[in-house]
Amino acid sequence: KAGVTQTPRYLIKTRGQQVTLSCSPISGHRSVSWYQQTPGQGLQFLFEYFSETQRNKGNFPGRFSGRQFSNSRSEMNVSTLELGDSALYLCASSPDGFSQETQYFGPGTRLLVL
Amino acid sequence: DAKTTQPNSMESNEEEPVHLPCNHSTISGTDYIHWYRQLPSQGPEYVIHGLTSNVNNRMASLAIAEDRKSSTLILHRATLRDAAVYYCILRSKETSGSRLTFGEGTQLTVNP
């Protein structure tokens, strides 16, 4: 099976713009989670989607949003970008999102906000 | 999820065993101990997990203290490819969803 894929891998935006990142989970996986990784804050959970519904949400402002499609592919959107949004954005998938399931991570999208 | 404590960094020599400790003194009876690692420029990858008994797989072994307040990830023969940040994470079986709460982890350096 192909692994989790994320596009694009690298992105440069300017403050005030918006950005959409894409994640394709492993075939058959229905749960997709998103994480932000920065040197200062480490890996932080953004949100999880399961069967096109947001099931869990981390402590991030409303500028961060996401959605999941019927084929389980997911997108996350960040509006009105700030310099502090520069980070590695990772998505992870699992079959059903049960707490003991292994999470499979993609390689991430590195976003730089200028 | 309960909190874990790990050393910030550890160093090892290639082909020697490595013991990565994790303290979780507030662990509850329903918490599983998971380990993930993140190689440079990659997303995290699953290593191993367990509840009470020691566990082995092709990547590593997990030794869990009898009182479950600590555990140790054992890499039997470290290779250069094992240089990574290792995260010890507690996951309650009563928690719904797939959220992982990462700490700072242990940066493992493997010397040739």
pLDDT tens for residues A90-111?
A: 999 999 888 788 999 999 999 9
pLDDT tens for residues B2-17?
A: 689 999 999 999 999 9
Count Cβ atoms within 10 A of the Cβ of residue B34 and give its class: 0-12 exposed, 13-18 middle, 19 or more buried.
buried
Q: How far is B49 from chain A (nearest CA, A)?
A: 9
- Closest-CA residue of B relative to A106 is B43
Question: What pLDDT is attached to residue B30?
Answer: 87
Cα A35 to Cα A90: distance, rounded to the nearest angstrom = 5
Helix, strand, or coil here: A76?
strand
Supply angle C-alpha A19, A21, A26, rounded to 5. 175
Task: Look at B96 and A55 and tell me if their CB atoms are within 8 Å.
Answer: yes
Question: What pLDDT is attached to residue B93?
Answer: 76
A:36-75 residues touching chain B, CB 8 A cutoff: 42-45, 48, 50, 55-56, 58
B:49-68 residues touching chain A, CB 8 A cutoff: 49
